[in-house]
Amino acid sequence: MDACSTIIYTGMGLAGGRNTILVRSCNAIIVIGGRIGTMNEFSVAYAAEIPIGLLKGSGGMADKIEELERDVMKGEYPTPIILETDPKKLVEKMLELLKQEKH
């Protein structure tokens, strides 16, 4: 419980729309690996212009999203996306971005 500042119980299961509620409740998201649910969460954050961190080299969707954003979405939204291979650096960069956005 100490790792969570807020718990949002939706009761919606894995494919019931909970991704939208959870992502829209975040100041930022970090994508590590993942499959179709992760892609859905990325899409929600991207369209809502919620900052996104991608841990490159972690496999799954995290390694495909950069290409999809470039080739399919083509920068349609001004959503900040930070790419990093080092998890610690990714978190540091995301926190710095959030600090900048508050000013």
Per-residue pLDDT reduced to its tens digit, 54-81: 999 999 999 998 888 888 877 788 899 9
Closest of 67, 18, 59, 65 to residue 46, by C-alpha? 65
Q: Is residue 62 part of a domain?
A: yes
Q: Is residue 5 part of a domain?
A: no
CA distances from 32 to 37, 99, 100 (A): 12, 22, 23
Tell me, what's the pLDDT at 1? 52
CATH number of the domain that 27 lies in? 3.40.50.450
Cβ neighbours of 48 (radius 10 Å):
13
pTM: 0.84
Residue range of the domain that includes 34: 18-102
Q: Is residue 45 part of a domain?
A: yes
Q: Is residue 7 part of a domain?
A: no
Kindly report the average pLDDT of the chain as a whole number.
88
Q: Could you give the number of structural domains in the chain?
A: 1
